[in-house]
Structure 1
Amino acid sequence: MFSTRSGLDDAAPVLLLHGGGVAGWMWDSLRGTLEPCHAVLVPDLPGHGRSAGESYVSHAETVAALSQLLVATVPGRPATVIGFSLGAQLAIRLASEHPELVSQVIVVSAQAQAMPFTNVTLRALGVAAPLARRRWFAKLQARELFIPPHLMAEYIRTSAGITKATLSAAVGDNLRFELPAGWSAFRGRALVMVGRRERRLMRDSADAIHAALPGSERSIIDGCGHGIPLPRPEWFDDRVLHWLSAA
């Protein structure tokens, strides 16, 4: 799994986990904001971006790889983990299964209720998968994530590199995701964010994530749908810095 490390070597580490269909480039703005005072780790998850040659297998396998990344790059220093969508589900599992590696978590737009008829949805995705390589289709999908114009070329390139196997595995685990038992036992700080314009399922999921972890903070972002860090990077960066500084 490809990853980059930047910022201050000996500072508090932050791990940034992107969503499905995008890659580590979605965090370029936040990365630059954090680098003066943090060690910033940004992987391209399996099957995405510069890790496109390594198919996404499962959330479980990816969380295991992320735990190894933290142990190898910032040993003995628990990290703040910030995840969006697919990456937010991984952040929850990482904090639940490896709490010794995670000091605090920001969960952005995570689905936390398993959807019915997952197999039907996956079959439809399998049929549509070749369209991801078409520029016009990628642009339609980009609207759902509010990809800004200056990142459109990166999105189209990433979308074209995602295989049917990766799409099926990542979306399948995404749709089947439920909160792990260990989430309620996590002792670090947690911020749960969701856009007010997101689907009811996503807003209900944010409520469930927050309710399952006493002491967590829930934040509903006015004027936002799915993709909070992308259309409002300056606002999001400031919100993250403010939350981190309050630790």
Structure 2
Amino acid sequence: MPELVRPTTIADLPCGQLEYRLERREKAVVVLFHGGHMRAGLALGEDVFAAAGHTTLVPSRPGYGRTPLSTGPSMQQYTNVIRRLCADLGITRIAAVVGISGGGPTAATMAAHHPDLVERLILVSAVGWLPYPDRWTRVGAHLGFAPMTERISWAGVRALARLAPDRCLRLMLRSSTTGSVDEVMAGIGAEDRAMLLSLFAQMRSGRGFLNDLQPTPDVTALIGQPTLVIATAADGGVPFVHAQSLTGAIRNAHLVVSRAPGHFVWLGADWPAIADRIQAFLGADPCPR
């Protein structure tokens, strides 16, 4: 199993501090924006791009890891920061921006506002511009992931992962599926269980998660790049209607429906076939814009 936790770098840019991880390979760059409770040092859902030989650039979004909220006061400003980072790193072409879960709006905004740099867009279990989350989830987020409480919340998760790993997995995966958590657990092998426990033990919300709940401008009408939207109808974290809405609103988007039993589509039995679809998508010539 590849290392989940990887070293990162800090860039001191005119617009502020930005944490990122750059793994250079022979092919063009893929920029990944991870979801809630994640940061640049946690590698999740990246294996398909590494296997295809793509360089990966993974920044921490505002409020996560060592990227302060002030680096990206708005989503468009933050994508301008990413463009500046790319210029400093000598990156003049992005084969695809990838938005995973809560990173979906950031990836879409990057594609919309920097079409001369970004060739494709990939959205995986991604949040769109429908109302999200529901009222009670929003209330719970403000209670459990506020600056004064998020450290305690994640300390409890780490303790549970260490003392009662199966119980921890059930607790954390329950909200990831619309179906039975027993079905999700039954489909997870020992290696994936170890990966998930390591992931949950490393997650932090910082100030980023509550920032993710703030409204942002809908940019879907501005996106002209070829777009791949990947989602499962069994996603309990981000409802499937978000994928349907994104596919309908982005004019050159194609929906790939996963059979995964929950939010983590990489754990689905059909992920190898979806990975092949992603590699073919990256290898195809982008449509003229």
TM-score by length of 1: 0.78
Cα separation, 2, equivalents of 1:53 and 1:245: 32
Give per-residue Cα distances to partners, 1:76-119, cap 9 Å, x unaligned.
32331111111222111111122122100111122223427877
What amino acid does structure 2 have at the position aligned with 1:223? A
SS in 2 for 1:25: coil
Determine which of 230, 244, 249 is the counterpart of 1:212. Answer: 249
Distance in 2, Cα, partners of 1:200 & 1:155? 16
How many Å separate the matches in 2 of 1:42 and 1:117? 25
Query: For residue 30 of structure 1, what is the aligned residue in structure 2?
Result: 48
* Mapping for residues 3-42 of structure 1, pairs under 5 Å: 3-8=20-25, 11-23=27-39, 24-34=42-52, 36=53, 38-42=54-58
> Is the 2:103–2:127 contact (alpha carbons within 8 Å) kept by the matching residues of 1?
no
CA root-mean-square deviation: 3.2
Distance 2:224 2:116 in 1: 10
Q: Which residue identity is paired with 2:196?
A: M
Cα distance in 1, alignment partners of residues 20 and 193 from structure 2: 24
Identity %: 19
Count residues in correspondence: 235
Alignment of 1:44-55 (within 5 A): 44-48=60-64, 51-52=65-66, 54-55=68-69
User: How far off is 1:177 after superposition?
Assistant: 4.9
Which AA in structure 2 matches 1:169?
N
Deviations 1:154-193 (A, max 9, x none): 423432x323x333112x13xx35632xx32333211111
Residues 157 and 44 of structure 1, relative CA distance in 2, 3 Å threshold: farther
Distance 1:243 1:210 in 2: 16
2:283 maps to which residue? 245
- Match among 94, 105, 123 for residue 107 of structure 1: 123
Partner of 1:221: 258
Match of 1:179 in 2: 218
1:95 counterpart = 2:98: no
User: Would you say 1:70 and 2:86 are equivalent positions?
Assistant: yes
Gaps (5+ residues) in structure 2? 1-17, 162-167, 177-183
AA at the equivalent of 1:72 = D
Is 1:2 the counterpart of 2:12? The answer is: no
Tell me if the contact between 1:80 and 1:105 (Cα under 8 Å) persists in the aligned partners: yes
Q: Secondary structure at the match of 2:119?
A: strand
- Cross-structure match for 2:195: 151
- The AA in structure 1 aligned to 2:48 is L
Distance in 2 between residues matched to 1:64 and 1:70, nearest whole Å: 10
Q: Matched residues in 2 for 1:214 and 1:155: separation? A: 35
Give the number of the structure whose alpha-carbon radius of gyration is greater: 2
Q: AA paired with 1:40? A: T
TM-score (norm 2): 0.68
Deviation at 1:143, TM superposition (A): 5.2
2:73 and 2:239 map into 1 onto residues whose CA distance is: 24
**Cα deviation code 1:196-232 (max 9, x no counterpart):** 2125973222222122222321122123422213556
Amino acid at match of 1:179: D
In structure 2, give the amino acid aligned to 1:228: V
